Every structure is written in structure tokens, then in C-alpha cells.
Structure 1
Amino acid sequence: MYPGLPQRDYIDPAVFTLEQARIFRRLWIFAGLRTLLAEPDSFLTRTIGGVPVLVQNLEGRIKAFRNQCPHRQAPLQTEAYGSRTLVCGYHGWRFDAEGRVRSIPGEDRLYHYPAAERERLCLDEFAVECIGNLVFVNLDPAPLPIEEQFSDELRASLAAISGHFGTQAIHARMPSAYNWKLNFENVLDFNHVPFVHPRSFRPLMAKGAANDPRVPADEPPVTAAHLRELSYASETPLQIQPWPWHAQVARFGDADVYYNHFLYPNVNFISVGGYVFLVQQFDPVAPDRTDVHFTLCTARATQRIPALPAILRDHLRSEKQVLDEDRAILEAMQRGLHADGPVARHGAYEVQLRRVALVYRRLMEAPA
């Protein structure tokens, strides 16, 4: 038996505040798809660890900045996705690709900044790493090497599969009334599928797949874990219904499987047979509030597919049904949590939850 985290870690505002600082502002966090940043000045905005973040294609480079003008902290870009030059809409300040002020309307008449102060008027820049078509941002001034968080094998897998992304994507945000950790723990738990998704997802699993799972009874207990161990890939045989459009895309691989990538701390990246790709991200909003973000695309089209918008909407609807089933359970769990409640009693098959708990505690106890 492996003990879980204390219930207090899922409900305490002080714990939530510390998570934002020790986890989300120190680790590499998924920001978006590089395919959506292919054109000059294309951008996306996110909130990471409570910080507004802008990721933008500037002169062919993917850059990340705090999405606040240094003048009065107005957002530089106000939409979630778009294409626009790097200019503040409040007072017209313009910035170059390095985040330096390029021009200030009426500067000589109105501002009179000393030269040294003028030089410091620049955007706060954050580290960016692209793994294939997946863009990650790290807010730490001295970010840990990304290979400390994601293994070489996993990064190679992510680069290969995301290289098949199409250029059109559909997005959705689902506000949910539970702690973000519950959702990441849930996607790691394959054993809930037959009970929570008996009609939506379970029937798609190939005969014998996860129907009678077995785990060794004599594995040594897990007493330590590395951050890299929390993120990994898996494959499950799947029954995939053929559609005419499947022949019109550059499919990843040739196997009818469910590709699953777990990316700590808050992403589950999946693919249905290499035809459809979905990034699920569990963004913390409050101790008992999570915004679940979906970004879904198909494999790259090899010819024009007029029905592509409808295809994306249909797949998003199916994925949302599965999420709604999970959400009903997780929200009920969250409502029952209380500070003096007992910890979870994980069995042998939940050993990955044990690793998550061990690393989580270490991250939370790291020096400020």
C-alpha cells in the first residue's frame, strides 16, 4: 500500500499559492502548439503560475514574455490566439523582438525618461523550448535543463508524433470544480476506465486491452523517484473506425493504438491512431478550481478536406463527453475533501501515483 497526499494539499489556499511558486513557476509548462505560431507576429497568451504570458513569433523566432507593458502593466495581446505586432494598445508603446522598447508615441513631449531608466524599459523574457510542435515555457530566471524534466526518449517520441500535426486546431476551456492534481492523477489511473467510461471509451479498446490487467505482486516498494519518471509514454490497442478522411492525412505510424503521453505537472497528450491529436491541460485556478483546456487537431492534410472543421468539432464533442464523466467523479471527490480526512490507500498498480507524491513533496519543500 502506498499512502497518497494529505487531503489538505487539495484544499488549502496556502498550499495552492506555494504550488504556483514551487511547481508552475519553476518547471517547464506546456504553452501551445508551434503550428499555430508559424506566421510572423502570430501569438498565443496563457496564464502560467499566476503570471500572464505571451508567446509570439517574432522575426521567425518563438519568444515568450510577461504579457504586461512595463509602462502601466496593460496586456500587450488581449486575445488567446491571433496575429498582431508587439505593441501595447493602451498608449502605443512598440517593442522589438528582444522585448526592448522600439518607440513611444510622444516620448519627447510627455515622458522625459532619463537614459538609464529608458534602457531598462523592456519586457520580462522567459525561456522557451520547442519539442517538435509542442512549445514549453519556463518562468524561472535560471530554468532547469529540460532533460531533467523530460527524458531523451520521451522528447524524441513527442517530436516524432507532433511532427504530424495539421495546421488547423480547435480549442475549448472547461471550468471544473476540483483541484488540478486530481485530474493528473486520474489520467494516470487506467483502472477507472471500465467503471467511469463503460459506454464512451471502454468499447473502443481492442479486445483484451486493459480488460484484465495484471501487475507484479513482488515489486520492491518505491521509496524515491526522479522528476523525469513522472512523464512517460504508453500505447494501448484501440478499435478505430475507418473514415474516408483518414486517407487524406499524413498519419503518424500505422498501428491502431491509443498513444498516451503523460507530461508532469499538468498535461495529458493523446492520439487516436495517429489520426487525431489532443492536448488536455489542467490549469490551476484555485485550490478547488481547474480550467481544463483542450487543443485538438488532425494529422497534417495531404489534400484539401472541406469537412475538416466538422471533423474537429465531432472529435472535440466525443472527448468532452469523456471529460464530463471524469468531471462528475472528480468534483464529487473534491466536495468531500477536508483537512483532517484520511489519505488515499494506493494499491500496487498505482505506483506511479506514489512517484508523483514523492516528487511533489520534494518540489514543494525546495528552498525559495
Structure 2
Amino acid sequence: MDAIVIPEHYCSREILDKEIKNVFHKVWSFVCLKSELANDNDFVTKNIGNTSIVVQNIRGEIKAFLNVCSHRHSRIQCEQKGNRPLLCPYHGWSYNKDGIPTGIPKKPYFDFQKEDLEKLKLKEVKIDFCGELVFINPNDDSESLTEYLDDFYEELEKISNNIGKEVDINEMKINANWKILVENTLESYHVALIHTDTFLRLGTSGIDFSFAGKNSVWTTQLAKGENEGKNAIIHKPFQDRDYKIDGYKHFIIFPNLLISSTYGISFNISLIEPIDESSSRFISRVFVTKTHTNTENSPLVDAYYKSLVQFNRDVFSEDKEICEHVQLGVQSSPYSGQLSKEEKRVWHFQNSIINLLNDK
């Protein structure tokens, strides 16, 4: 079948601006895990295009606001994450959990009344949770997160509740349009050539795809079972866990969140964010499952962690190289592009993009 997204859409600033407006500003966006906001004043900032949003724990309540001071427009939280009050670094205005300025240096000079402060409250942004996953949505009229995740909500909730120790975070700039990176993760057609010494060895295969709204998942068995051969030794410390799957699962939560798991023992959460029309920010985080038994201070477990980290970094390094070649190609390609049955998730992703760009 013909591809829906044509080459020009991968190298056009005009198209990217339209995607930020009609896609990223209209749907739910993943921010972080709840555990990253466990303490009072913990915060994470999220950029959606040129719009910065701060998600912060304020006295035990997680709230999201436009990250702009209502006094004279400075960013309030200037780092990607941290722990500090919701306090503007420019003139020291501070805000409460409702976004109302409650701490104003030299307040008598302003002669504010209560109703004036209410008008100066920060713009609140919709926030919701799926288990430990934190999402925001700038679109006040959007569907609920439960509706958005559709049939995947319950399993994603279970996955998130079983994510344990983080063993790696890998962030890189890739010189390719964000859609090229997403599409690369949605098909295994390229695995035999690009991942000969990494992903190919897992033995993934098949087209067992499921779709829920704009989201999709691929489920596949692996060449070896969880407890076959050497796997029995490697995975022994993780048997006492709650989430188990037979093989490998890979979700896309549209438009740019990727969540995968192998056997329910290891998890990968990846986020792909556009920098401009021809470059992207890629963040990949590796976790292991929670268990009911202590797995710390084990040489076997430490070795497993190292192998996970090396495997994921090798795979994404291989993907980086080929995606950058694709970016060079789309700039002069005269072709519409073709998609096979094995690339059905790519078609679904492209169709969701085009529908939003056309306001469908």
C-alpha cells in the first residue's frame, strides 16, 4: 500500500509547525513517572513546541501550569527537573497549588486586591495519570486520558505499577525528523539488516498487531523462553514479580511515547521530541521489574543490568545511523513510499497524523 505521509512532510518547517499546533497541542503527552514527583516541590518541565509547561508537586498535589510568570513573563522553572518552590527566579513571585501568586516581594507597591491576584493566576494545564505514568494535555476540550488510551489503559497501568529500578537513561540528538524515528520503531522489517548482532538475536517475528484509538502494540514471542537455557540463570532473581508476558511487547502511545517490555522483566520507555524539521531529541530509559525479593548487591543482577544497558544503547545507536540516512533521502525523494503488511503500524501512525493535520 502507498504511504500516507509524503517525503516533503519530513523536511518542512511549515508541516512541523502545523504538527505542533494540531497534534502535540491536541493530544495527551507523557511527562514522567509519578516517582519523579514524590516530594514536595519536585518538578519536571515539558516543552511542547515553544510552550513550556511545569508539572510540580505542591504540598502533596501534582499540578500542571504554563511555565510563565504572570508578572513579567519569565520562565518559572528553568531546568528540566529539580526541587524548588514554584517561584519566579526574576523577581521572586511565588505561587500556590491553585497557581495564584501568594508571595510577592514589595507587595504594597502594587496595591493588589484579592480579585487582582485571582486574575493573575497561572494558566492551569490538564493533567492525569495511568498508574505511575504522568500525562498532560494543553487542549481543554480533549477526551479523557482513559478514553485516549482506550483498550490499552489497564495493561499500561499494570506495566507502570511494576516498573522498578532505573538502570540507564540515554539521551541523544538525532539528525532526522521525529516521524522518521517513530516509524523506525514501529516495524521490524529493518531488523535483519540494521540489528544483526543485537535485536535480531532475540528472534522476534510476526505481525500480531493490535490498535486502540491512535495507539498500537506489537506482541511477539522470542527465540527462547524466559527460563530456557542461559535465560533460566539470568532471569532467576526476577521470578517473584507480578507482571509477566510471554516474549516481547512494544506499545506506541501516540504520538511519540514508546513503551516496551521483554518477559515483563525489563522495560524501556522512550520519548521522541522534535527539535526542528530535521532533528529530534531522543530519550530512552531502561528499567527492571519490581520484585517481592531483594535483588540488590547481586553480581548476577549487576551483570544483567550492564547487558541491558549495552543492548539498548547498541540498538539505538544503530537506529540513529540509519534514520539519519533516511532524512538525507527524503529531502530529494520523488517517491510516495510503500508500506507492507509488516509496516501496518507505520500506516496507522501516519493516518493518525494526517487526520489531525486535516482536523478530522
| TM-score interval, smaller chain | 0.7 to 0.9
Q: What SS does the aligned partner of 1:22 have?
A: helix
Choose the corresponding residue for 1:165, options 142, 163, 166. 163
Q: How far 1:155 sits from its partner (Å)?
A: 0.5
Kept after mapping to 2: 8 A contact 1:4/1:353 = no
- What are the residue-to-residue correspondences of 1:1-368 with 2, within 5 Å? 1-109=1-109, 111-113=110-112, 116-151=115-150, 153-166=151-164, 168=166, 170-205=168-203, 209-210=204-205, 213=206, 228-232=213-217, 234-237=219-222, 239=224, 241=231, 247=237, 251-300=241-290, 302-303=293-294, 305-306=296-297, 315-338=308-331, 341-366=334-359
Of residues 275-284 and 17-26 in structure 1, the stretch that sits farther from structure 2 once superposed is 275-284
Specify whether residues 28 and 229 from structure 1 end up closer, same or farther in structure 2 by C-alpha distance, changes over 3 A only: closer
Alpha-carbon offset, residue 69 of structure 1: 1.5
SS at match of 1:190: coil
SS in structure 2 of the partner of residue 353 of structure 1:
helix
Report the alpha carbon displacement of residue 26 of structure 1 after superposing the two structures with TM.
0.5
> Residue 282 of structure 1 contacts residue 290 of structure 1 at CA under 8 Å; is this kept in 2?
yes
Task: Tell which deviates more after alignment, 252-261 or 283-292.
Answer: 252-261
Is 1:11–1:339's contact at 8 Å kept on the other side of the alignment? no
Q: Which amino acid aligns with 1:303?
A: N
Shift of 1:23: 0.3
How far the C-alpha of 1:92 sits from its partner, in A, is 1.4
Closer, same or farther: CA 79–311 of 1 in aligned 2, 3 Å: farther
Q: Which amino acid aligns with 2:213?
A: R
- Taking only aligned residues, the RMSD between alpha carbons, in angstroms, comes to 2.7
Preserved contact between residue 214 and residue 348 of structure 2 (Cα < 8 Å): yes
Superposition deviation, residue 150 in structure 1: 1.7
Q: Is the 8 A contact 1:65 1:126 kept in 2?
A: yes
Q: Deviations over 1:194-241 (max 9, x none)?
A: 221110111123xxx41xx479xxxxxxxxxx9704333534336454
Query: Mean alpha-carbon deviation: is it higher for 245-254 or for 346-355?
Result: 245-254
1:137 offset after TM fit, Å? 0.7
Question: Is 311-320 or 338-347 further displaced after alignment?
Answer: 311-320
SS at match of 2:359: coil
Q: Number of residues paired by the alignment? A: 350
Q: Deviations 1:44-68 (Å, cap 9, x if unpaired)?
A: 1121233111111223222111122
Give CA deviations for 1:266-289 in whole Å, capped at 9, x if unaligned.
111012222222111110111101
Q: Deviations over 1:163-188 (max 9, x none)?
A: 11226564332100001111111111
Counterpart-to-counterpart distance in 2, 1:214 and 1:74? 49
Whichever residue aligns with residue 264 of structure 2, its letter is: G
SS in 1 for 2:275: strand
After TM superposition, give the deviation of residue 246 of structure 1 in Å.
5.5
Amino acid at match of 1:300: K
- Could you say what secondary structure the match of 2:125 adopts? strand
Relative to structure 1, the CA distance from residue 299 to residue 227 in structure 2 (aligned partners, 3 Å threshold; closer, same or farther) is closer
Q: 1: distance between equivalents of 2:36 and 2:42?
A: 7
- Residue aligned with 2:78, SS: coil
* Matched letter for residue 253 of structure 1: Y
Distance (whole Å) between structure 1 residues aligned to residue 186 and residue 284 of structure 2: 18
What SS does the aligned partner of 2:47 have?
strand
Change (3 A) 1:73 1:313: farther
TM-score (structure 1 length as normaliser): 0.86
> Over residues 269-328 of structure 1, what are the superposed CA-to-partner deviations in whole Å (9 max), with x where a residue is unaligned?
012222222111110111101100122322225437247888656533321210111111
Describe the shift of the 1:356–1:87 C-alpha distance in structure 2 as closer, same or farther (beyond 3 A): same
The CA deviation string for residues 19-57 of structure 1, in whole angstroms up to 9 with x for no partner, is: 000000110011111121122222211212331111112
On the 8 A contact 1:36/1:167 being kept in 2, the answer is no
Residue 7 of structure 2 contacts residue 335 of structure 2 at CA under 8 Å; is this kept in 1? yes
Q: Please state whether the residue corresponding to 1:247 is helix, strand or coil.
A: helix
Unaligned runs of 5+ in 2: none
- 1:360 is paired with a residue whose SS is helix
* Inter-partner Cα distance in structure 1 for 2:223 and 2:82: 36
- The aligned amino acid for 2:154 is A
Residues 362 and 246 of structure 1, relative CA distance in 2, 3 Å threshold: same
Q: If the length of structure 2 is used for normalisation, what is the TM-score?
A: 0.87
